[in-house]
């Protein structure tokens, strides 16, 4: 199944995270809302959160969502769940640097949708609040190079993570350029290890210069 963006997210009405979370916490006929956290709670052009509920989740960070949904995980999400459980976590949460659905990252918006990013950061703040010391798995591979604005989004995530005392980790061998390994094709028993996300971003000094508007002010 492929997802090619077909409409402007700004035409979809209220995409606010708070309202979408409220709906996601209500019972749902399509899946068990006590097991799954799925925001929004229906398949649409964007996704903030997909994961299972638990006391100690592993928060996996990709670039943008594809077609996965509760009870219909794609190969990447199946790998994420296996690795989370294999490393002693009782659940997983899939989050993305940018919330627009697109099976091919080449189909992502050319310019940043500031509202979508702002609400996505509200979602990130929420999932970090679910753990006393959240563990965040950097797992975006080389795809971050697809759009310059993705670096700016990541920098906002780093700042939010610092507020929550998040521990960043990686799994598998980094790419030649230093990008953290994508979850696909990793063994279930692959161990996680600490990842200095601040140093990772510092090695790319041009990151963030093309974005004119700072998102932190609107958080």
What does 118-152 look like in DSSP terms, one character per residue?
A: HHHHHHHHHHHTTSSS-EEEE--GGGGGG-THHHH
Per-residue model confidence as pLDDT tens digits over 77-118 = 999 999 999 999 999 999 999 999 987 888 899 899 999 999
Residues ≥6 apart with Cβ < 8 Å to 153:
97, 98, 112, 117, 120, 121, 215
- Picking from 74, 162, 155, the residue whose alpha carbon sits closest to that of residue 112 is 155
**Distance (Å, whole) CA 91 – CA 85:** 7
Q: What is the pLDDT of residue 173?
A: 94
Per-residue model confidence as pLDDT tens digits over 31-54 = 999 999 999 999 999 999 999 999
The pTM of this model reads 0.89
């Amino acid at each position: 199944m492929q997802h090619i963006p077909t409409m402007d997210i700004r035409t979809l009405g209220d995409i606010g995270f708070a309202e979408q979370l409220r709906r996601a916490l209500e019972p749902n006929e399509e899946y068990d809302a006590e097991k799954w956290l799925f925001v929004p709670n229906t398949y649409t052009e964007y996704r903030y959160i997909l994961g299972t509920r638990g006391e100690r989740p592993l928060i996996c960070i990709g670039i943008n969502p594809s077609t996965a949904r509760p009870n219909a995980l794609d190969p990447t999400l199946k790998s994420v769940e296996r690795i989370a459980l294999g490393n002693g976590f009782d659940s997983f949460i899939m989050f993305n640097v940018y919330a627009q659905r697109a099976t091919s990252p080449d189909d992502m918006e050319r310019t940043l949708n500031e509202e979508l990013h702002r609400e996505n950061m509200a979602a990130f703040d929420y999932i970090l609040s679910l753990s006393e010391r959240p563990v965040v798995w950097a797992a975006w591979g080389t795809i971050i190079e697809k759009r310059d604005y993705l670096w700016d989004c990541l920098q906002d995530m780093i700042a939010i993570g610092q507020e929550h005392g998040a521990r960043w980790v990686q799994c598998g061998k980094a790419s030649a350029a230093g990008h953290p390994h994508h979850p696909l094709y990793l063994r279930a028993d692959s161990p996680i290890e600490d990842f200095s996300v601040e140093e990772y971003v510092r090695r790319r000094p041009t990151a963030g210069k093309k974005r004119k508007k700072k998102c932190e002010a609107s958080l």
